[in-house]
Amino acid sequence: MPLTPLRGAGLTALILTLSACGAGLPGTPTTSPSTGPSTGPGNTISDTLAPQGVASPVTLTAGQPQQLTVTVGGRAPTPGQLVWTTTNAAVATVTQTGLVTPVSSGNATVRAALSSNASAFIDFPLVVRAAAPAPTPVPTPAPAPATGFAQQVLDLVNAARAQARTCGATAYAAAPALTLNAQLGQAAQGHAADMAAQNYFSHTSKDGRTAAQRIAAAGYAYRTWGENIAAGQATAAQVVDGWLKSEGHCRNIMSANFRELGVGYAQGGSYGHYWVQDFGTR
- List, for residues 89-130, the tens digit of each pLDDT value: 999 999 998 899 999 999 999 998 888 888 888 888 999 998
Q: What is the mean pLDDT of residues 161-166?
A: 96
Query: Between the CA of residue 238 and those of 200, 230, 245, what are the distances in Å?
Result: 20, 10, 11
* DSSP 8-state symbol, 134: P
Query: Which of 61-70, 168-177, 191-200, 236-245 is predicted least confidently?
Result: 61-70
The alpha carbon of 223 is separated from its chain's Cα centroid by a whole number of angstroms, namely: 35
pLDDT at 33 over 70: no
pLDDT for the residue numbered 214: 96
By DSSP bridging, strand 66-67 and strand 99-102 are antiparallel
Q: What is the mean pLDDT of residues 156-168?
A: 96
The dihedrals phi and psi of 93, each to the nearest 5 degrees, come to: -105, 165
Helix axes 236-244, 247-254, angle to 10 degrees: 100
Run of H or E including 278: strand 272-281
Mean residue pLDDT across the chain? 80
Question: How does residue 138 score in pLDDT terms, banded at 50, 70 and 90?
Answer: low
pLDDT at 66 over 80: yes
pLDDT for the residue numbered 45: 30
Q: Are 222 and 216 in contact (CB under 8 A)?
A: yes
Question: How does residue 222 score in pLDDT terms, banded at 50, 70 and 90?
Answer: very high
Q: What is the mean pLDDT of residues 61-85?
A: 85
In this prediction the pTM is 0.50
Question: How does residue 57 score in pLDDT terms, banded at 50, 70 and 90?
Answer: confident
Bridge partners of 229, per DSSP, are 276
pLDDT at 35 over 70: no
pLDDT for the residue numbered 279: 97
Question: How does residue 3 score in pLDDT terms, banded at 50, 70 and 90?
Answer: very low
pLDDT for the residue numbered 147: 54
pLDDT at 26 over 90: no
Share of residues in the chain with pLDDT > 70 (%): 76
Q: Is 132 exposed, middle or buried (0-12, 13-18, 19+ CB in 10 A)?
A: exposed
Question: How does residue 43 score in pLDDT terms, banded at 50, 70 and 90?
Answer: very low
Question: How does residue 139 score in pLDDT terms, banded at 50, 70 and 90?
Answer: low
pLDDT for the residue numbered 10: 31
Q: Are 240 and 153 in contact (CB under 8 A)?
A: yes
pLDDT at 37 over 60: no
Q: What is the mean pLDDT of residues 255-264?
A: 96
pLDDT at 15 over 50: no
Q: What is the mean pLDDT of residues 200-210?
A: 95
pLDDT at 158 over 90: yes
